[in-house]
Amino acid sequence: MKKIIFIIPFLLCFQKVKAQSIILPELNLATSFYFDQWVLSSDTFFVAPVYIDTYLDFNEFHLNIKYNHNVVEPLISELNQINDDSYIMVANYMGFADFAMVSGGNITGVVNTINASQSLLTLSFNGSTAAQTLFNSCNGNLLYLAFKKVNPCFKGPFYLQFWNGDDNGAFINPNQTHACQIIGTTTTHSTETGNLLAVQGEVTFDIPQANIQLNGNILEAFVVGGSLPLSYEWSDKFGTVLGSSYDYSPIDTGMVVLTVIDADGCMSVTSHNFYFSSSTINEENSFQTIYPNPSGGIIHLQKEIDRVVVLNTMGNVCYLGKEKVIDLTSFQKGVYLIQTTRNNYTTTEKIILH
């Protein structure tokens, strides 16, 4: 169950920091999906692990974390159960979630409003002195923060920030004026005294990104991300509904619009112009051979093009050009979409970089 230490540097992209740091994650729930959709009673939520990078013999700590309350709502009274070993053993998604060092102790918290969009979450912990073996077995995972999604379609990212609460000389929570304070049997570490470095975090939700790909005479929805189940709607440019399946067989030349909505109500819309000859797709424009696939990074396009766009699985444009040979050797390994356009006709294909 202690696999997270090996994948965190790649999936959460933590910053490289000096010793004695407390770290909020850069968490993308599309890739770190095992931290999303946790369930406790009637609540469905995601968790954000808080790590310390060096062993500290603490038995008490206090944290102030600023967040956008229009996007998320923290769970507080449930934190003791969420961080308990017995719950994590059940909720542990695919064996990736570490145990938490606070298991068996007591977490309390309070929320204070800062302004129209931000609030301050104050957490306090008391428990037995943490041993070196506990730090090792938990891979430095101090605790999980838990949040319900208020706006699951927020395109973000949004930020989780350690903050002492000093708002122009007045503290938001006068009872906790340290961004982070970790109290041990022999020493106290604090962001305010300078012997503890706080690394801020950010979270990006897993929202759907829809694309259209061609499979013979059939248009297929290729969707990355989103909460299942997904619903599909194909329509023309005037809004006339043409179909509601994941695929659609066009019967005429023109623009086809695909709208995808996930279980959270998050929407992604894409469209393409398609041209037909003798009631079938024009063979000259139908297929664009991309090779090799999988590829080490040098990709060849067989036909002439007006434009080529490379998208990652989040739908972000990674490359834009007109060349028939494109160099993606600097890209990370994984799945990408390649959209080629010729004579106002666009096709989309998947390619794997290895």
| Residues 6 or more apart whose Cβ sits within 8 Å of residue 137 | 2, 99
Dist CA 36 CA 206 (whole Å): 9
Report pTM.
0.71
Superfamily of domain 207-286: Immunoglobulins (2.60.40.10)
pLDDT of 277 reads 46
φ, ψ of residue 178 in degrees (nearest 5): -110, 140
Q: Distance (Å, rounded) from C-alpha 281 to C-alpha 286?
A: 6
- Examine domains 4-204 and 288-354 and report if their fold is the same: yes
Q: Which residues, 6 or more positions from 316, have their beta carbon under 8 angstroms from its beta carbon?
A: none
**CATH fold group of domain 288-354:** Immunoglobulin-like (2.60.40)
CA 57 – CA 35 distance, rounded (Å): 27
* pLDDT, averaged in runs of 10, over the chain (354 residues): 36 46 94 91 96 95 98 98 93 79 97 98 96 95 97 93 96 96 94 95 94 79 87 91 90 86 93 60 52 86 84 78 89 83 73 83
Domain boundaries, the chain: 4-204, 207-286, 288-354
Instruction: Domain 4-204: give its CATH architecture.
Output: Sandwich (2.60)
